[in-house]
A and B are shown apart, each in its own frame.
Chain A
Amino acid sequence: MSETTFDGKFGDYGGQYVPEALMPAIEELNDAYERYVLGNEDGFMDEFRRRLRDFGGRPTPTQHAERLSERYGREVYLKREDLLHGGAHKLNNALGQVLLAKYMGKERIVAETGAGQHGTATAMAAAHLDMPCEVYMGERDINRQRPNVFRMRLNGSEVNPVTVGRGTLKEAISETMRDWATNVEDTHYVIGSVVGPHPFPAMVRDFQSVISEEARAQMREKTDGLPDSVLACAGGGSNTMGAFAEFVDDDGVGLYAVEAGGSSLDVDEEAGVAPNSASLSTGSEGVLHGARTKLLQDRDGQIMESHSVSSGLDYAGVGPELAHLVDEGRVTAVNVDDDAALTAFHRLSQLEGVIPALETAHAFAYLEENHDELGETVLVNVSGRGDKDLESVIEETSKRDIDIAPDMDAFAGGF
């Protein structure tokens, strides 16, 4: 596992840049993180692992992907986080944090969500552990991800639409911070990725590192060795850090964080819009939502509106530890565009019978384009399943000429 210094800095990145009203809560959380998560006080980690197993369905398999292996002339393995309860890796973190909030004696959960996947996981964990929960979600994302909105409501959570700005993840995070600052004495903010002020980036990574812990053992069992490379898509970077954490010290394993290249890597400074969400590939250093990290921002330091066909990657920042590992040269930041991701979505569905989340499809698009450079054995983290994305896929596919896709007009209207 990569090192965290005492003050929560990863090189120059990280830190705690939040309103004063939140600082005592963050100190309290840091104390709880050190005691319960790092120190297993009161058997917290034992209970977390038991619930991940019994409620979450862990361990998830590492599957040999036969047709992809054949296609690329190398051995491709899939870490199947899409088989986790809720359909994405997000439950690892949500369950960990809601349980921690219980141990801390908190009475209420708030969370933000982009794709709705983190909101869904938090709503499930909150129902499972009997905690009231409110989720903030950008209005635009509510329209893109209706099935997840229904799921959150079904689990008993409130979904609060956020209308400011472009109505995506960035605005939802700001709004959740406001709620937290107002209700900080009895409320815990379950942040959805390895972002935000310390201890969140380290803590979320620890909860997610079960992915690479299992994958490492499963790869050893199946191949007698470690993969040559590990691929994971990067929005905030939680499935990325989870898939990488236990491989960081294995120098022979290449780690690839695949970002959303959107429709283009160019930015419109004047309009404050980046048509991508590739903050590792194209961003610059700054301070957002509690941490110093790499951001999509204009010359003055105003945060840009980002874009991706997948709402879970549509964020102008990225986790500080990932930014640091990229600067150090340990992780390679790459990106693929919307078209390639959509095409990969169809390809994986057809070749392997696995319908991936649009986020995950980015990792497969990179595999398609660059398999020659990835070595003999490649592990791809399937961060989530694509059920939530079907409406977006129909709409986005019908706008494009994707020759391997089924005829989407046949679905339109009849869906």
Chain B
Amino acid sequence: MGNPALDAAFEGGAAFVPYLAAGDPDFDSSLEYVEALERGGADVIELGLPFSEPVAEGPTIQEAVVRSLEGGMTPDRFFEFVEALDVEVPLVCMTYYNLIYRYGDEEGPRPFVEKAAEVGLSGFVVPDLPAEEADPLREACDEFGLDLVFIVAPTTEGDRLDRIMERVSGYVYVQARLGVTGAQDDVSGQTESSLDRLAEYDVPKAVGFGIKTGDHAERIVAAGADGIIVGSALVDIVAEGHEDDEDAETVAARLEEKARELKEGAERGLAQRAPEAERT
């Protein structure tokens, strides 16, 4: 089940997984922004394929979705975007189920997954597809060797957690707090108990929702996460650049710098954990 690229990306123990909406605010700038994230230290990149009704997103990413759609983003343009990107790290497509379900000539997820494999994507995160409805996509992912990442919320426990863990591959997306995406001023207290609940499962745990600074990243990795996922704090930089009419190069430089801050924070967190690991 799954694909070796993501396993390798988590080997270092403190993976940095940034998110940007592909095509935000336009195709070419967005290519530069994603490439800047790799230079800044990204280990995996989550690329959003925008859906018109992003129910799991807060205002920051909602607005990114609008910009990208207005810029003409479609599933086919998205695949072109992936092909045009010059990055080495694995790419995970983040989108909503209707776009996957509708793609191609037949109804169902297979054509989308086939195309994703063809352009070199490594996996998917689909926030409105719970484990109960995911078997057709899981099967297609197995057929084409892609990973299917699931989100585990602070409210997920018991049978539901088992059901998700039977189907997950690549990494599990640990939602740090209830609610929708959006940068926060502090790290959620729910993170540690979520990591504890997941400890027995042998799959990398990447924590996301609300992470904004290197300091947040440090604390989350120190608490035992294998990686951090950061979306809104990066999308904010894209949004500001767009509003202030800055050139893509300037914005890309700022993204790279922010990425570096987050990656370095994650590594500091890992360093704090290491001695303890040796003692046990």
Contacts and interface: CB of A to CB of B under 8 A. Distances in A.
Contacts of A178: 55-58, 179-180
B130 A20 contact: yes
A21 B155 contact: yes
A185 B56 CA distance: 17
Interface of A: 15-21, 23-25, 27, 164-165, 170, 174, 177-178, 181-185, 272, 285-290, 295, 297, 299-303
A286 B98 CA distance: 6
Main secondary structure of the interface of B (DSSP, over half): loop
B145 interface: no
Contact of A181 (B53, B160, B164, B180): B180
Contacts of A23: 130, 132, 153, 155-156, 160
A14 B42 CA distance: 39
B153 A287 contact: no
B155 A17 contact: no
24 contacts: A15-B133, A16-B130, A16-B133, A19-B127, A20-B151, A20-B156, A20-B175, A21-B153, A21-B155, A23-B130, A24-B156, A174-B55, A178-B56, A181-B178, A285-B107, A286-B102, A287-B97, A287-B98, A289-B55, A297-B102, A300-B74, A301-B51, A301-B101, A303-B98
Interface residues of B, number: 42
Contacts of B232: none
B122 interface: no
Given A181-B56, A300-B75, A20 B69 contact: no
Contacts of B133: 15-17
A197 B116 CA distance: 28
Interface in B132-172: 132-133, 150-157, 160, 164
Given A174-B53, A303-B52, A287 B128 contact: yes
A170 B53 CA distance: 8
Given A170-B53, A178-B180, 6 more contacts: A19-B153, A23-B156, A25-B155, A272-B52, A295-B98, A302-B99
B130 A17 contact: yes
Contacts of A185: 155, 178
B62 interface: yes
B103 interface: yes
A341 B133 CA distance: 39
Nearest to B126: A17
A108 to B, nearest CB: 14
B178 A184 contact: yes
Contacts of B101: 286-287, 301
A295 B129 CA distance: 18
